Structure 1
C-alpha cells in the first residue's frame, strides 16, 4: 500500500518535471506538432520514462514484482512507444504503426487462457485501442484525461483479480499521465505525441485483456467495449464523417463548447463507460447493461453527425480561418 502511494507520487512528479524540461528542448529541435500551433510533442517521452523508471525500480529492488506477463506487457509498450517517437520525428504511415503494434500485441496476449481465435481478436482490439488513443490526442487534455480514467478502472479490475503487478503498473501510468496533464490542460504547453498515445493505449488495452483472460467471451467483449467507449465513438464518428474535422472534440468545439468543457464532457463520458465495465467485471450488474453504453455511444455519434453549427460559431470559425 505504502509502496503504491510512493510509486504513484514519484511517477506524477517525474512526468511533470520531464514535461516541463523537455518542452523547450523539443522546440529547439523542431519536435513539434505538425500544424499551426507548433506544440512540442515530447509529453509522451515524459510519461514513458516515468512509468518505465518507477515500475522498473519496483521490479529491480524486489519491492513490487511485475511478473513475467506484466514485464512483457511493459516491454511491448515501450517498443510501441519507440515506434511512435519515430513517427513524431518523421512521417510514418498508420499501417507501419499498426503492424508494429500488432507484433507487440502478439507477444502479450495470453493464448493459453483466451484460446487462439479469441487471442487473435484480442490482438486486433489492442491495435484498435492503441491507434484510437493516438487519434484521440487531437485536443488539449483529452487523451490524458481519458487515459487516467481508464487506467483507474482497469486497475480496479486487476486488483480484484489479485494481479498486483498489473495494478501497480496501471496506478503508475495514471499518475504519470496526471503529471503530464499539468502541462497539457488547455492551453497546452506540451503534447502527448504518437509515442505517448500509442504507449498509453497499448498498456490499457493489453492490461484489460489480461484481466479478462479466462472469463467468458461475451462478457469480456462487453467489458472491453465499455472501458473504451469514447475511443470507439471517436473512431466511428471519423469513419462516418470521412474527414478529420469529424472528431469528437472538433464537433463539440464547433457547437460552441469551450476546449476545457469538451475535455470535461468527454472525460465524464469515459468515466461512465469505465464504471459500467468495472461493475460488470465485478459481477455487480449484468453484462447486458453495456447495451446502454453501446446505445449511448451510437446516439452521441448520430447527434453530432446531424447537429447544425450555430451561426455565431460559424462566424468565429470564419474569422479564425480567414
Structure 2
C-alpha cells in the first residue's frame, strides 16, 4: 500500500514538472492546437507518457510492483501508440494512419486465449474506438484528463477485484500522471494533451478493461465496457450524427462536441468539464458495480439510455453557422451606421 502511494505521488509530481518544462519546446516546434484562438502546445501528453513509463518501469525493475508479461506488453504497445501520436502532433498524420497503428498495437495485446478470436477481433475494434474517442475528448480544457482519471480509477478497481495487481498499479500510476498534467491543463490551459497523450490514455484504458473482462460473456462484457467509457462514446456519437445530419465531412473539425454544446447552453468551461466528469463517474460507477457483482449487469442499460438521451438533446443545440450569422449581423449594423 505504501509503495503504491509513493509510486502514484511520484508520477503526479513528475508529470506536473515535465508538463511545465515541455511548454516552451512545444511552442518552438509549433506543436500546438490550431483550433484555438491562442496557442496551446500539445506536448503535455509526452509528459504523461514519460511519467507513467518511468514510474512503472522503476517499480518493475526494482521488484516493488512487477507488472507481469501481459501487462508489460500492454505498456510497450501503449508507448508505441503514444509515439505515433507524437508524430501526429508535430508533423500531422492522416487519421487512417493513426487508426492502423492503434489497431496493430491492440491486436498485439488482446488475450485471444481467453476471449477467443471473434471476440478478440471485436476487442481490437473497440480499443481503437476508445483511443480515438479520447482524442476527440481533447477539445476542451481539462476534459480528456478528467475523464481519463475517473476511468483509470474505475478500471483499476475492476482489476483489483480480480486480483490483477500489476494492472491495478499501472492504471493508478496513469491516473496520477493525468492528475499532474491537469495542474497545467485546467482552464485556461497552458498545455494540451495532444494525440500523444490522448491515444496513450485511451489505448491503455481500453486494453486494460478488455483484460479485466476476458473470460466473461461477450454481451455482458460489452455493456460493462460501454459503461466505463460512456462519455467518450457519447461524444463520438454526437459528432457523427451532427455532421451527417448537416452533410459535413466527418473529418472536418467543428465546435460540435459535448463541451462545445454545453458552453452554448451557458455553462462555463470549468462547469462543462465538471459536469461531464460527473457523467463519466456515474457510468464508471455502474460499470464497476456490475463487474464486481454488486449490481445487476442490466443496470448498464440505464447508462446507455442516459447517454442516448444526452446525445439527442444536445443534437438540437445549433452549432454550425452561428459565427457566420453573428458576423453578418455585425456587418449589417456597420453599414447602417456608416450610411
Give yes or no for TM over 0.5.
yes
CA contact (8 A) 2:103 2:125 kept: yes
Shift of 1:100: 0.1
Shift of 1:156: 0.2
Aligned to 2:10: 10
Aligned to 1:50: 51
Aligned to 2:268: 258
Deviations 1:109-167 (A, max 9, x none): 00000000000000000000001101110000000000000000000000001001000
In 1, the alpha carbon distance for the partners of 2:269 and 2:157 equals 29
Aligned residues: 317
Shift of 1:216: 1.3
Shift of 1:318: 3.8
Q: Tell which deviates more after alignment, 241-250 or 100-109.
A: 241-250
Query: Superposed, which structure 2 residues align to 1:292-303 within 5 Å?
Result: 292-303=302-313
Aligned to 1:101: 102
TM-score, normalised via structure 1 length: 0.96
Shift of 1:278: 0.2
Aligned to 2:224: 223
Shift of 1:284: 1.0
Shift of 1:34: 1.7
Shift of 1:3: 0.8
Shift of 1:308: 5.8
Deviations 1:86-129 (A, max 9, x none): 00011201110000000000011000000000000000000000
In 2, the alpha carbon distance for the partners of 1:179 and 1:233 equals 26
Aligned to 1:234: 235
Aligned to 2:165: 164
In 1, the alpha carbon distance for the partners of 2:120 and 2:314 equals 34
Aligned partner of residue 245 in structure 1, secondary structure? coil
Aligned partner of residue 109 in structure 2, secondary structure? coil
Q: Which structure: larger Rg?
A: 2
Aligned to 2:156: 155
Shift of 1:219: 1.3
CA contact (8 A) 2:154 2:285 kept: yes
Does residue 284 (structure 1) correspond to residue 294 (structure 2)? The answer is yes
Does residue 272 (structure 1) correspond to residue 282 (structure 2)? The answer is yes
In 2, the alpha carbon distance for the partners of 1:204 and 1:294 equals 19
Deviations 1:158-194 (A, max 9, x none): 0001001000000000000000000000000000000
In 1, the alpha carbon distance for the partners of 2:306 and 2:31 equals 38
In 1, the alpha carbon distance for the partners of 2:38 and 2:123 equals 36
Instruction: Please give the root-mean-square deviation of Cα atoms over the aligned residues, in Å.
Output: 1.7
In 1, the alpha carbon distance for the partners of 2:216 and 2:298 equals 15
In 2, the alpha carbon distance for the partners of 1:307 and 1:54 equals 43
Shift of 1:37: 2.0
In 2, the alpha carbon distance for the partners of 1:229 and 1:79 equals 25
In 1, the alpha carbon distance for the partners of 2:233 and 2:171 equals 21
Moved over 4 A (4+): none
Aligned to 1:123: 124
Q: Can you give the 5+ residue segments of structure 1 that lack an aligned partner in the other structure?
A: none
Aligned partner of residue 192 in structure 2, secondary structure? coil
Deviations 1:277-321 (A, max 9, x none): 000001111111011001000100000112468xxxx79x947x9
Aligned to 2:333: none
Q: Tell which deviates more after alignment, 32-41 or 58-67.
A: 32-41
In 1, the alpha carbon distance for the partners of 2:97 and 2:211 equals 25
